[in-house]
Structure 1
Amino acid sequence: MPKSLLIISRQSPWSGPSAREALDIALAGGAFDLPLGMLFMDDGVLQLMPSQRAGALQQKDITANLQALSMFGVEDLFACHTSLAERGLSPTELSVEPLQVLRDQDIAALIDRYDQVITI
């Protein structure tokens, strides 16, 4: 049985290649039917915002990659409640569904459910 993988994405979509790399890992793992989930924390929750203007920063828009996750079988998507609240974001205004919003105490239990964890 393949080991499960949790990818924790903590970087904003504009701070360099980390956000895109996290999504690339998720898409590749999904293509090989690896059981995986993604957790967006800290500035990583900013990746979930709709209408990103990546071109203004000479970056590529990652919205299409986020939307493709479900097509690759990556449906376990999580966001940190504290990170959303600190940035004034509401789960209803985010562009990714289905998305489970977790409180801090639930994040530790989530991490324990996966065999391997990558933080990017």
Structure 2
Amino acid sequence: MTNTIAILNTRAPFSHTNAKEALDVALITGTYEIPTSLYFSGDGVWQLINNQKPSELAVKDFLKTFAALEFYDIEEIYVDKPSLEQRGLAANFHIDNVTVLDELSFANSLKQHSIILSF
């Protein structure tokens, strides 16, 4: 059985280093061709929203790195729909291939992985 990794993003992109670290881990697992999926819930959904301006916070815009995910064969990207709704956000993402799932589908998809890393 092949191990699969789910990376669960639960933090806003610029409030902690967690979001950047999660993305780094995803790129590393992709480099080693380990099947990896990304999940976004809670404040983690902010990582995918278009038109953010990190320069106004005087921080580096690591979100541009999401565009590289396809080169690492990371194509399974899921967002928790209730998290979007609770924050009044539309599914307007800065990357393609994002699947919005209801709460039950999100949980069921997540638990299909042998390893879950939460950031």
* Band of TM-score, shorter chain: over 0.9
Q: CA RMSD in A?
A: 1.1
Number of residues of Structure 1 aligned to a counterpart in Structure 2 = 119
Moved over 3 A (4+): none
Alpha-carbon distance between aligned partners in 2 of 1:69 and 1:20, rounded to the nearest angstrom: 13
Partner of 1:23: 23
Moved more, 39-48 or 53-62: 53-62
Task: Using the TM superposition, give the Cα deviation of residue 2 of structure 1 relative to its aligned residue in structure 2, in angstroms.
Answer: 3.9
Partner of 1:38: 38
Alpha-carbon distance between aligned partners in 1 of 2:59 and 2:2, rounded to the nearest angstrom: 34
Alpha-carbon distance between aligned partners in 2 of 1:47 and 1:112, rounded to the nearest angstrom: 22
Task: Using the TM superposition, give the Cα deviation of residue 71 of structure 1 relative to its aligned residue in structure 2, in angstroms.
Answer: 1.2
Task: Using the TM superposition, give the Cα deviation of residue 82 of structure 1 relative to its aligned residue in structure 2, in angstroms.
Answer: 0.4
Alpha-carbon distance between aligned partners in 2 of 1:80 and 1:71, rounded to the nearest angstrom: 24
TM-score, structure 2 normalization: 0.94
Unaligned runs of 5+ in 1: none
Alpha-carbon distance between aligned partners in 2 of 1:103 and 1:116, rounded to the nearest angstrom: 21
Task: Using the TM superposition, give the Cα deviation of residue 58 of structure 1 relative to its aligned residue in structure 2, in angstroms.
Answer: 2.0
Partner of 2:116: 117
- For 2:111, what is the secondary structure of its paired residue? helix
Aligned positions of 1:1-120 closer than 5 A: 2-91=2-91, 93-120=92-119
Alpha-carbon distance between aligned partners in 1 of 2:68 and 2:50, rounded to the nearest angstrom: 15
Unaligned runs of 5+ in 2: none
Alpha-carbon distance between aligned partners in 2 of 1:119 and 1:27, rounded to the nearest angstrom: 15
Alpha-carbon distance between aligned partners in 2 of 1:85 and 1:37, rounded to the nearest angstrom: 22
Please list the CA deviations of residues 38-67 of structure 1 after superposition, one character each: whole Å capped at 9, or x if unmatched.
001111110111222112212111222111
